[in-house]
Structure 1
Amino acid sequence: MEASRVLPATALACVALLAGCSGPAPSSNAPSSPATTAAAPRVSGPAGDLQAAYQKVVKDVLPSVVQITTGQGLGSGVVYDGKGDIVTNAHVVADARTFKVSLATGGATLGARLVASYPDQDLAVVRLDSVPKGLKPAVFGDSPQVEVGQIVLAMGNPLGLSSSVTQGIVSAVGRTVSEGRSGGNGGSGPTIANMVQTSAAINPGNSGGALVNLAGQVIGIPTLAAVDPELGEGAAPGIGFAIPAATVTRIADQIIKSGRVTDSGRAALGITGRTIVGADFAPAGVAIVSVEKDGPAEKAGLRAGDIVTRVDQTPISTMQSLAEALAGLRPGDRAEVTYVRDGTERTATVTLGEV
């Protein structure tokens, strides 16, 4: 099992699995330390202030970042509360129900079990079988306050290197990204809206960890790394994505309270569809296979056989593009759906439902 994921740098929607769960931690063959060492030089001025801020954030937050190991690989997680709940990516836990958890502060490996997984947002919560003394929950930030240019640190266990920290900035906010499923079936995984793009390195094993601002707040859960098409499956440097804190807390709170997600916040058209191709064999729209009885599409007059080609001003050529269009909308929103029936283009106003 692999675990952070990657998307082609030329198309933010096409993602294939890459980072998150990797193999065992690499062995170290580093030479022994010399008998005497010089004291680290003291850095003064603005550079010293920034270095001190980095070090404080690492000291404050890293104890809240754990390593999660399954039978297939490993990933990262963030301590969510004092009851032993840990939030991570759904693709980190995959099909597992029990886990081994290692704390950044050391000590014996702890057992944990799955509370619930919500693959539609690639989030899951696991709970420690016993809560160790001094377990430190992370502080989650306010997503609307995240701005491009903010310095961030990504904390996790890339390639099994426990408690690693990388540094970067917030490169963009509000990205909509479609993940791929294990095995490289690009674009067939969940589509997640409002993701935080960062230049902090996200490597296999980082998935489910923490993207942290200099105030020591977790602003996102690192999940994806982009792929450079010219490098095949190689990650494109400096393009990673994290699920925003607001989404994480909304989903995690529901899972912890109810054992499942009761309010997804995700808009739905209420159809089963499939991508069709045109005369040039290029994707040409989404054919409706069936409509949900009394669902949004049926109430708006759509029916099986109709071909959806646009939602509001967004062209629809594939199921993936339809998922991306809906990801930017909310249940209850009214959307104008353009479709083709019997060779004639029509429109319908649909009041969207919920996944």
Structure 2
Amino acid sequence: MSPKDIALAYTPSVVHLFTDTGSGTGFVIDAAAGLVMTNAHVVSGAGVLKAGLSSGEQVSAKTLGTAPCEDLAVVQLNEVPETLVEVTLGDSEELVSQDTVTAIGYPTAFGDSRTQDAVTTSGAVQSPNLSAAPDSSLPNYSSLIQHDATINPGNSGGPLFNDEGQVVGINTLGNTLANGRIVQGQYYSISVDRAEQFIDRLTAGESMSDIGLTGFAFSEADISGVYSDGSQVQREILDKGYDGLFVDSVTSGSPADDASIFVNDLILSANGVETNSFAELCDVLASASSGETVNLTGMYLQDTGTKKVGDLWEAEVELQ
């Protein structure tokens, strides 16, 4: 199939996902049940979740299961239109360099994002299987497809098709800057072979290694807009040898929320292991069993009624 053939056949399979904090893309893996695959970071911390369809309809949706340390999630449409078309999952192991691939999604663009049409891009596989640790806010990815079919913010969670019209990857991120130099044409998709190891559990409503928060390295955070003296506070804490995971989202009703962990908190360790990135937190969570308690230590970054900046706190969260 040509990229044009794939766009005509499978645009009805691609869903525009909206949350109260941003938007992304997903694709239908079960049309009858209204099940949609996407990235976990698209729906993380969402208080509201809606899906825009190629027909122009917009329906509410709910997250069934998340695996944030794999950056995968399955959501379900609360209303299932008859116009949905489900994709066929392919075999990403069969990909080789220079195979043609096609991405469909809803990247950020001028105009009202809620009324935009799906965008199709095509390119070639550069590397069919590699691992990467791209950013302190993201997990370590064990199986990625590197390609040059352009994707941008908003494409996250969308499908990457092979030339047979089968989904071989979940579009996730791009590499745009390395060592201060601009990088062009490097885009990455989670291999469908990796994703298939989790789909059944996610569609059954199970979440894995999930305590309901995301964050990134405190040393990379700009907290000047969060606190009036944020930059000074940050310098003083870093000068004392502390770093940690600066929390940027907490899902309502999650174990982290139940443990009174808040956005802009600073987590220093999990089960006694220093936690300076989301991937390091994932390493601890992946070693724990469902229902097990994970002990977190952190630091207050602003004064409260009884606590001062720099005071430590402890919390226990039950792993889902």
Q: Corresponding residue for 1:241?
A: 188
Unaligned runs of 5+ in 2: 210-267, 284-320
Within 1, Cα distance between the matches of 2:76 and 2:205? 14
1:96 to 36, 41, 46: 46
Within 2, Cα distance between the matches of 1:231 and 1:164? 29
1:117 to 50, 57, 66: 66
2:81 to 132, 139, 152: 132
Within 1, Cα distance between the matches of 2:143 and 2:70? 11
Q: CA deviation at 1:143?
A: 1.7
Q: CA deviation at 1:94?
A: 1.5
CA contact (8 A) 2:68 2:208 kept: no
2:151 to 202, 206, 228: 202
Q: CA deviation at 1:230?
A: 6.4
Once the two structures are superposed, the pairs formed by residues 1-355 of structure 1 within 5 Å of their partners are: 53-82=2-31, 83-104=33-54, 106-159=55-108, 160=113, 161-180=116-135, 187-229=136-178, 236-261=183-208
Q: Say which SS state the counterpart of residue 204 (structure 1) adopts.
A: coil
Compared with structure 1, are the counterparts of its residues 127 and 97 closer, same or farther at alpha carbon in structure 2 (3 Å cutoff)? farther
CA contact (8 A) 1:74 1:92 kept: yes
Q: CA deviation at 1:291?
A: 11
Q: Say which SS state the counterpart of residue 254 (structure 1) adopts.
A: helix
Query: Which residue identity is paired with 2:131?
Result: T
Query: Which residue identity is paired with 1:64?
Result: S
What's the CA shift string for 1:255-296, capped at 9, x where partnerless? 11252349xxxxxxxxxxxxxxxxxxxxxxxxxx9998xxxx
Q: CA deviation at 1:237?
A: 2.0
CA contact (8 A) 2:148 2:185 kept: yes
Compared with structure 1, are the counterparts of its residues 97 and 259 closer, same or farther at alpha carbon in structure 2 (3 Å cutoff)? farther
Q: Say which SS state the counterpart of residue 30 (structure 2) adopts.
A: coil
Equivalent pairs counted in the alignment come to: 227
The Cα RMSD (Å) is 3.7
Q: Say which SS state the counterpart of residue 176 (structure 1) adopts.
A: strand
Q: CA deviation at 1:133?
A: 1.0
RCO higher in structure (CA 8 A, sep ≥6): 1
CA contact (8 A) 2:151 2:174 kept: yes
Q: Say which SS state the counterpart of residue 91 (structure 1) adopts.
A: helix
For normalisation by structure 2, the TM-score amounts to: 0.62
Within 1, Cα distance between the matches of 2:177 and 2:50? 33
For normalisation by structure 1, the TM-score amounts to: 0.56
Query: Which residue identity is paired with 1:94?
Result: S
What's the CA shift string for 1:151-207, capped at 9, x where partnerless? 011110011443101111010022211243xxxxxx342101120001111111110
Q: Say which SS state the counterpart of residue 158 (structure 1) adopts.
A: coil
CA contact (8 A) 1:202 1:222 kept: yes
Query: Which residue identity is paired with 1:76?
Result: T
Unaligned runs of 5+ in 1: 1-51, 181-186, 263-288, 293-303, 306-317, 327-355
Query: Which residue identity is paired with 2:14?
Result: V
CA contact (8 A) 2:93 2:128 kept: no
Q: Say which SS state the counterpart of residue 248 (structure 1) adopts.
A: helix
Query: Higher Cα Rg: structure 1 or 2?
Result: 1
What's the CA shift string for 1:67-107, capped at 9, x where partnerless? 00011111100111020111111111120154111112x13
Q: CA deviation at 1:148?
A: 1.1
Within 1, Cα distance between the matches of 2:10 and 2:270? 47
Compared with structure 1, are the counterparts of its residues 212 and 290 closer, same or farther at alpha carbon in structure 2 (3 Å cutoff)? closer
Q: CA deviation at 1:231?
A: 5.8
Identity in percent: 32
Q: Say which SS state the counterpart of residue 69 (structure 2) adopts.
A: helix
